[in-house]
Structure 1
Amino acid sequence: MTAGQSLVEERVADASPASDHQLPRHFPALDGARGVAAMAVVVSHCANAGYFPHVLGEGTGQMGVLLFFLLSGFLMAFLYGPRAFTREQVLRYATHRIARVFPLFYLVIALSLVVGAGGPIRFFDLSGGEWVWPVALVTGTSVLWTIPVEVQYYLVFVLIWAAAKRFPLGVWIAAGFAAQLLALALLRLTVRGNQFLPYWFHAFFLGTIAGYLLHRHARAFLKAARAPGLQGLGWIILLLVPLSLPELRRMAGFPMLPNFIDPVTFGMPVLVFLAALGGLGPFRYLAWPVFTQLGAVSYAIYLLHKPVMWTLEPWLSGRVPDLALGLAIVALSILMAAVSTYGFERPVQMILNGHGARLSRRFA
């Protein structure tokens, strides 16, 4: 992403009964936020290629990825946190995650190996053994790196889920951040690059904490979200979004940290996530169908927009204005994502979930 997100799209309606009767079973604005996150990645990559204003690139996409990770962590906790930690439930969780993420991810890898990166239709360059790392869910080239990170957090969440049943909230939260710091220290000593879970764990983890807290304090949260002051805060957050763009701050001479720990680059996705969760001010419009439909195909948009870009560039670059090429990449990415989601991913997902349900019942 991204994550992804992780890139997670499982309906809250599948969750066990909420711990508070006032707690919604579904947050449409979060679906819309997922769509916005996907579009932030696409627009950023188009800007980096020169098709949109450069200020929209150079880090804007990673803000979208951070939002993906926050949403992924939240939905895992919201969906599964209240459930009993049993072998049946863990199998069901694993099946849903595998069915949601693996089919398109491994299809894209297969197409990259078969079609390659040099023909009229271009996918990711996985030559020279580069395919091993994404297949093994270690890391990946280009946007593929976020999916291993997402899947690695799926495994970590099982530990969090178990710990949350046995230990107080503050204990497992402190343990989670301590583990991240230890893993980061070890990683910095051994591996270069930041495309590994310890660098992004806090985004997933904060979303997970929000999911658990919402179940505990739904009444207070929903009451506060309806307050006029917080509704007005939503408009302020929206106005601050353009000012938070990394490249704009870089051009203005502000000091910058790496995206995963920069307080603004990471802080703005957190604010957008909370504003969408509470439906604050303009963020309630993320529940409109135009946004939720983007959210429904966001995973495929994320994975397919780079192949779309690389395929269109040789045909259209220099023949049409740069802006037109950028808009064509956006439009075709959405179209291909819709075909992928409804023509491939959803049918495969239903089959895998059906097999998983039968398997989990055997262990009931």
Structure 2
Amino acid sequence: MNGPGHIGSLDGLRGLAAAIVLVSHITLIFPEFGPLPYFDIGTEAVGIFFALSGFLMAYLYGGRSVTRESVGDFLVSRFARIYPVYLAAVCLVGFLSLVAKLGYPQPIAGPLDFVLHVMLLGKSGVFWSVPPEIQFYVAFPVIWLFLRDPRRHQVIGFALMGVVAVVSLLDFPGPGILLHAKLPYFLFGVVAGRLHAALSDRPPKAAIGVMAVILLVVFFGYKHMVTVSGEPFWGLPTAFASALIVALVAREHPLTARVLSSAPLRFLGVTSFSLYLLHVPVMFLTRQTFAALLPLPMLAVLTLVTSLLAAWVSYNVIEAPGRRRVGEVWRASRFRRALLRRPIALMDRRDAGRGLDAGGATFRG
């Protein structure tokens, strides 16, 4: 899975963000602990996830030709990456929500809400962040056209900047599950991804590592450095900071790479999506099962351990096999063969036969 364009430190950054979300939900399962200072940074981690997605899509695909085949492969690979394990997590939460006496803290509220979640329009718990991710993937081929030939498709570039300007002036209106409310995070990530592609043959300077460490500390600790009110996170400043962190970490200076490329964080990075989707129901079930057997601190630690174990099992049993199976079905499908038989060049006929990796194997974006 580690191709020539693989960036190990981004595995670790994704793993770090997933671990932060996991720990930030301790008080959701154990309200007895009360508010825990310095643990309320799960939202910041989600901002990193969004910027990472923009970065990776631009870095991995932005320089490739845009054809019917490549776009079809891209969309199917993104769907295969997300949907099988997402659907499994929705079904698990839906089942827990049916048993009212359990008191699951982030329920899916009835059959209609369940259908909305299955259709990628739900917002229970962490599921709210999946719809804008999927919407970004659907929109990315248009962005891809601009990246491939900015002069020819300059209208797309100006339109994207216009959307960001309008939504920021209107204070990011509308439901958070719609793409426009989170678009700056993805787009700043896209800019960072193309910048990295341009600089990837140059060794990082020492200042890159220092800036990455400082920005990580400030990004996850600013709430405790200054006084903030209301919902302070979502906005242009944090979108820019999220993407800049991804860009700096991607340069893989030894100061950050020694930690973020370490085996534990890369393991978390590989299993991060399963961990992100499943940790709340798994922690909840663990507490329900062992509450009478262990003191509270030991029980809290056990919920973290079982979440990691469940993520590993989910990755190996659902996520990776599901991605492979969907890719196999797509590659063998008549519809894909029909795309290949038709005139497919949207931009560059010379590269029409190249296509894309069905699974986006260079990096699990």
For normalisation by structure 2, the TM-score amounts to: 0.80
2:362 corresponding residue in structure 1: none
| Alignment partners' CA distance in 2, 1:75 and 1:311 | 34
- TM-aligned CA deviation for residue 61 of structure 1: 0.6
The answer (yes or no) to whether the contact 2:196–2:250 under 8 Å persists in 1 is no
> Could you tell which deviates more after superposition, 305-314 or 146-155?
305-314
User: Aligned pair 1:151/2:131, yes or no?
Assistant: no
- TM-aligned CA deviation for residue 304 of structure 1: 0.3
2:146 corresponding residue in structure 1: 163
2:234 corresponding residue in structure 1: 260
1:335 corresponding residue in structure 2: 309
The answer (yes or no) to whether the contact 2:11–2:265 under 8 Å persists in 1 is yes
CA RMSD of aligned residues (A): 3.0
| Alignment partners' CA distance in 2, 1:280 and 1:241 | 19
Alignment of 1:219-230 (within 5 A): 219=201, 222-223=202-203, 225=204, 227-230=205-208
- TM-aligned CA deviation for residue 115 of structure 1: 4.7
| Alignment partners' CA distance in 1, 2:296 and 2:121 | 35
| Alignment partners' CA distance in 2, 1:256 and 1:268 | 20
Which residue identity does 1:293 align to in structure 2?
A: F
Query: Can you give the 5+ residue segments of structure 1 that lack an aligned partner in the other structure?
Result: 1-10, 14-23
CA shift digits 1:206-249 (9 cap, x unpaired)? 11122223233433xx33x2x223333344335435533x3x34
1:96 corresponding residue in structure 2: 77
Which residue identity does 1:71 align to in structure 2?
A: L
CA shift digits 1:339-364 (9 cap, x unpaired)? 01001221121111112223434422
The answer (yes or no) to whether the contact 1:317–1:325 under 8 Å persists in 2 is yes
The answer (yes or no) to whether the contact 1:47–1:54 under 8 Å persists in 2 is yes
Distance of aligned partners of 1:253 and 1:241 in 2 relative to their CA distance in 1, 3 Å threshold: closer
1:18 corresponding residue in structure 2: none
Match of 2:97 among 109, 116, 135: 116
Distance of aligned partners of 1:236 and 1:300 in 2 relative to their CA distance in 1, 3 Å threshold: same
2:251 corresponding residue in structure 1: 278
Which residue identity does 1:201 align to in structure 2?
A: L
For normalisation by structure 1, the TM-score amounts to: 0.80
| Alignment partners' CA distance in 2, 1:235 and 1:165 | 32
CA shift digits 1:91-111 (9 cap, x unpaired)? 110111111101011122233
User: Aligned pair 1:133/2:111, yes or no?
Assistant: no
| Alignment partners' CA distance in 2, 1:234 and 1:182 | 30
1:301 corresponding residue in structure 2: 275
Match of 2:37 among 50, 55, 61: 55
Match of 1:231 among 209, 223, 231: 209
1:142 corresponding residue in structure 2: 125
| Alignment partners' CA distance in 2, 1:159 and 1:261 | 23
- TM-aligned CA deviation for residue 282 of structure 1: 3.3
1:3 corresponding residue in structure 2: none
Higher relative contact order (CA 8 A, sep 6+): 2
1:352 corresponding residue in structure 2: 326
Distance of aligned partners of 1:202 and 1:238 in 2 relative to their CA distance in 1, 3 Å threshold: closer
CA shift digits 1:266-311 (9 cap, x unpaired)? 5553343223201235320211111111111000000001101222
The answer (yes or no) to whether the contact 1:73–1:207 under 8 Å persists in 2 is yes
The answer (yes or no) to whether the contact 2:282–2:306 under 8 Å persists in 1 is yes
| Alignment partners' CA distance in 2, 1:71 and 1:253 | 28
SS of alignment partner, residue 279 of structure 2: helix
Which residue identity does 1:157 align to in structure 2?
A: F
SS of alignment partner, residue 356 of structure 1: helix
What is the percent sequence identity of the aligned residues? 26
SS of alignment partner, residue 363 of structure 1: helix
| Alignment partners' CA distance in 2, 1:71 and 1:259 | 17
User: Aligned pair 1:27/2:1, yes or no?
Assistant: no
1:210 corresponding residue in structure 2: 192
Match of 1:289 among 249, 258, 263: 263
